[in-house]
Amino acid sequence: MTGVGRARGARPWLGRDLAIDLGTANTLIHQQGRGVVLDEPSVVALSVETGELVAAGTRAKEMLGRTPGALRAVRPLRAGVINEPDATEQMLRWFTDRVGISSVFRPRVVVCIPSDITGVERRAVEEAALRVGARRVYLVEEPMVAAIGAGLPVTDTEASMVVDIGGGSTDVAVIALGGIVASRSTRTAGDAVDDAIAEHVRRNLSLLLGERSAEHIKVEVGSAFPLAREVTTRVRGRDLVTGLPKTVDVGSAEIRRAISRPVGEIVVLVRDVLDRCPPELAGDVLERGITLTGGGALLRGLDARLRHELGVPVRVAEAPLRAVVRGAGRCVDDFAALQPVLVDGHRF
């Protein structure tokens, strides 16, 4: 496990309720009374012949683009929703085994979902959680719990605005009096930025990149706004002309142009939610500003880009990658106080 002690054998914790941020890029689990006990990439390695799980999390991510013919490494969630149900179930079972879930002391489980999820996609999430041992499944919308995890006063009469940018989806919401007043969601997020980088390098540098290499470029030199000091990084891939390995240098200015379309779509989405917001609440946002959460919030200059484009104060939440699971964790630590934020509809 990443960043936490190993939980196997910790029998006193069996049956404690869980909050799961089942993300396209990473899965995080909060256990009641313990905090975040698991933080792993949402990747599995499966046997091609039997479909059985060979590895999950960090070890499986290291296999992306490197597996022999007998194995395939995949990300079972795409665009914020389950893409491969069987692989997702196996991954969840592997993760929950790490934190000590029991078939006898079955916990209640809170799962975070994008705000635009369909009924079919919602049922797929519920069923996956039930099959790995949940007693009951509750769903919470990611922007609401992201706001809670970022410390925003979601029950105030004055509005707060959160932009949660994950790997597969971006959720924007204006929240007041414990409810979402205006919101929109798009499947343009971190993965779309990686895809734009890979496509740019392929078309302009004749270099074929793997998924991990595109993500490396984003982390090292990606930016949404001009930097005081532009930076470069070296990346390796396969030359599309010769078919041989090749190394090139790419700079932040070039990558900024490459990702201009997905970044621009996120800016437009935020502006659209502000336009839909009632005038009184828009005034609150102008005063309080916008809070960025999720892994996409770490893209250099994104806060400056939004501030420049919208004329609204923008800040990045503390530990933005964990804002969603921290907010969902408060649901399992105090169900009664946070019952209103749970998604309405059928519950098991």
Residue 218 annotated in ligand binding: yes
How far apart are alpha carbons 131 and 289 in whole angstroms?
41
* Secondary structure of residue 160 in the 3-state scheme: strand
How far apart are alpha carbons 112 and 19 in whole angstroms?
8
Which position has the token pair 């700079």? 251
Residue 298 annotated in ligand binding: yes
How far apart are alpha carbons 252 and 293 in whole angstroms?
22
Which position has the token pair 């995890």? 149
How far apart are alpha carbons 151 and 145 in whole angstroms?
10
How far apart are alpha carbons 79 and 258 in whole angstroms?
20
Residue 216 annotated in ligand binding: yes
Residue 169 annotated in ligand binding: yes
Residue 217 annotated in ligand binding: yes
* Secondary structure of residue 245 in the 3-state scheme: strand
How far apart are alpha carbons 267 and 166 in whole angstroms?
15
Neighbouring residues of 142: CB distance < 8 A, sequence distance ≥ 6: 21, 112, 113, 114, 115, 164, 166, 169, 171, 324
Nearest to 165 by CA among 2, 260, 23: 23
Residue 27 annotated in ligand binding: no
- Give the phi and the psi of residue 109 in degrees, each rounded to 5: -130, 130
Residue 15 annotated in ligand binding: no
Residue 100 annotated in ligand binding: no
| β-bridge partners, 108 | 136
State the sign of the Cα–Cα–Cα–Cα dihedral 230, 231, 235, 241. positive
Q: Which two three-digit tokens encode residue 154?
A: 């979601």
Residue 24 annotated in ligand binding: yes
Residue 26 annotated in ligand binding: yes
Q: Which residue numbers belong to the known binding site? A: 24-26, 167-169, 215-218, 295-298
Q: Which residue numbers belong to the known binding site for ATP? A: 24-26, 167-169, 215-218, 295-298
